[in-house]
Amino acid sequence: MKVGTSLTALIAAAAMGGAMQGLAPRAHAAPAPEVEYVYDVMVRRHYNFSNPDEAINYGHEICDKVSRGEGYAQVMGEVKGDVVPNDEFAANYLVSYAVNLLCPAQIWQLRNSAAHYQPPPDEDADTASIPTRRKY
């Protein structure tokens, strides 16, 4: 009979432990914005920054341009002139991640300036990634 009581107590304790675990909040960690930005632009996408500091500084330059009120089309044009790859997708990726991670308070300003943006009609996919003058 003692075995049955002990087994019942063990099952009840396990059930209580499982129930208590369900009540505990789960921990969710996120990397620092600079770490995530560097990963996004130097690992996931291979922009030609020579080191992480250069990538972060360039991201802050993008934020400064948006903060000063430069329009999305102007920022995109400057980014395409500065980095490789320099096609429309790559420039948009860099601008979007810089603002989203490094200066999130500027997201709405960027979005509002991009509301009616149309890529330049003269952009040719065959020449989009041929560097001319590059800052990075």
**pLDDT tens-digit profile, the chain (136 residues):** 455 566 565 565 555 655 555 566 776 777 899 999 999 999 988 898 999 999 999 999 999 999 999 999 999 999 999 999 989 999 999 999 999 999 999 999 999 999 999 888 865 554 444 445 556 6
**What are the phi and psi torsion angles at 66 (to 5°)?**
-65, -40
Could you tell me if residue 82 is inside a domain?
Answer: yes
The total number of structural domains that make up the chain: 1
Q: Residue 130: count other Cβ atoms within 10 Å of its Cβ.
A: 9
Could you tell me if residue 106 is inside a domain?
Answer: yes
Could you tell me if residue 43 is inside a domain?
Answer: yes
Could you tell me if residue 103 is inside a domain?
Answer: yes
Q: Model-level pTM greater than 0.95?
A: no
Could you tell me if residue 88 is inside a domain?
Answer: yes
Task: Please tell me the distance from the alpha carbon of residue 95 to that of residue 17, in angstroms, as a whole number.
Answer: 48
Give the model's pLDDT for residue 21: 57
Give the model's pLDDT for residue 130: 47
Give the model's pLDDT for residue 121: 83
Could you tell me if residue 109 is inside a domain?
Answer: yes
Give the model's pLDDT for residue 111: 94
Could you tell me if residue 96 is inside a domain?
Answer: yes
Could you tell me if residue 27 is inside a domain?
Answer: no
Domain extent for 42: 33-113
Question: Is 119:32 a contact under the CB 8 Å cutoff?
Answer: no
Give the model's pLDDT for residue 69: 95
Question: Is 99:110 a contact under the CB 8 Å cutoff?
Answer: yes
Look up residue 10 and give its two tokens.
């063990």
